[in-house]
Amino acid sequence: MYFDPRSIRPMSGQFIGGQEVREGEAHAVPSPSDSDIAFSVDWASEDLVDRAVTDARRAWSRSGWGSSAPRERAVILHRWADLVDTHAEEIAGLEAVVSARIYPEVMSRDAKVVSGVLRYFAEYADKIDGTVTPTPQNSFSFTVHEPYGVVAAIAPWNFPIILAAWKFAPALAAGNAVVLKPSELTPFAAVRIAELAVEAGLPAGLFNVVQGGGAVGAALVKHPQVDYVTFTGSSATGARIMADAALSGIKPVSLELGGKGPQLVFADAPDLDRLAATIARGITYNSGQVCFAGSRLVVARPIADDLLDRVLAQMRGGRTGTTWDEDTTIPPIINQRQLDRIDAIVADAISDGAEALCGATRIDADRAGFYAPTVLRGVTTANRAFRDEIFGPVLAVQEFDDEDEGVGLANHPDYGLTASIHTSDVSRAFRAARRIESGTVWINDWGRRTDFTAPFGGYKRSGIGKDMGRSGFEKYMKTKAIWLELH
């Protein structure tokens, strides 16, 4: 056992103005790993949301953060990153105990991504230049970049601290204040990271955290002093956030939403054993609770049987368990509601003609909910397993005869977040990559690495705007043109 879950002592309130605020109705935060373990968090009222935003605006104005020297901001962010590394074990416990993130993965990946993102965007603070534009001889025109002011950031439960950091790190580096709402299912690690920001020297109030469900998020988006909204989550919730933002000030919004990623496998794909392991990992990692999961296998008919046999062998090799168990490779589903949804979609898919090659069932556990890694063959484009983002360890299989058919199946009518292409033919790989309507395409690979340079975001209902890379920094700044008439 990596840690004793009953030893965790999370902050249960809001984090406003550099301190905990204990107000609001208490709500249970159960551990998905063990239903006998539960914590409590206070949900913010609309008045508390207003207090958090107003405090952020006041701190932003009084501190001069937005107009401070970029290197001064960078120094604080670097110091903050060092503190995250120092407190990684504590943060990992707070994260793992109420999420599906396995403790060693939080230690080796998630916490390091948070500190790495802080350092990466700290170095962007003084790297964005203005532009002198062509003008007549008696004029001078140039552009400058300015922070928006107060950024509302809403993060999901599947990779809680990573996806929160993708938002608060660049927004703060660009000179904004941030009010973060983590998921009500995974509220604790983000608050501890916010405490460390103040310890690092970030002016109190520049990074506030409010807790609660959808109503809290809506109040934050609609607040008149919020200047920019960034959200990661479902496509349905993203649409509501767009509407709320439009009706409350026409404020800009960036959205990283759902996915239905294909693994497009041609008959000349290299190393089928390695490929099978990649495909299995692409749908079982984090129990499939991944927006960029490789949830659809689109495979050339001549190799379908052989490849599926190898994938099935990989899928049957995982071990379910708590997020603090040293042997766990397949973590629990986040809650009963999500488990019921996965089970219902699989049942509908089978009743509509799909064949379950493995799984298609809950795994009995005394105090937690798990779903068996599942492969569904013979899924049609009308089948719910093709249409819907399942957010569980369920792989939908379709077969094709030629390149056009394969690319056509890989292109989903609604989603376009990520895709993978597997082939030994470089020309075919690039042809398919250009034709697939997706924000990210991997060739002979799957999954994001821990680098920070590549922008991430989707097409269609998978979102608007990009996180990470240069795009993920510049979106938190607005551009002003300044003209000077020479006499």
Residues annotated as catalytic (active site), given as ranges: 256, 291
* Token digits of residue 153: 């950031």
CB atoms within 10 A of CB 326: 11
Task: Kindly list the strands in the beta sheet with 262-265, ordered across the sheet, starting from the edge strand earlier in the chain.
Answer: 355-358, 374-377, 394-400, 296-300, 262-265, 418-422, 440-443
Pairing of strands 355-358, 374-377: antiparallel
Task: State the Cα–Cα distance between residues 209 and 134, nearest whole angstrom.
Answer: 44
Residue reference for tokens 């937690």? 368
Tokens of 248: 């409350």
Among candidate residues 299, 318, 319, the one with its CA nearest the CA of residue 309: 299
* Structural contact between residues 248 and 221, judged by C-beta atoms closer than 8 angstroms: yes
Closest CA to 424 of 439, 443, 440, 405: 443
**Which one, of 56, 82, 48, 84, lies nearest residue 204 by Cα?**
56
From residue 31, give the alpha-carbon distance in Å to each of 220, 233, 333, 347.
Answer: 26, 20, 10, 26
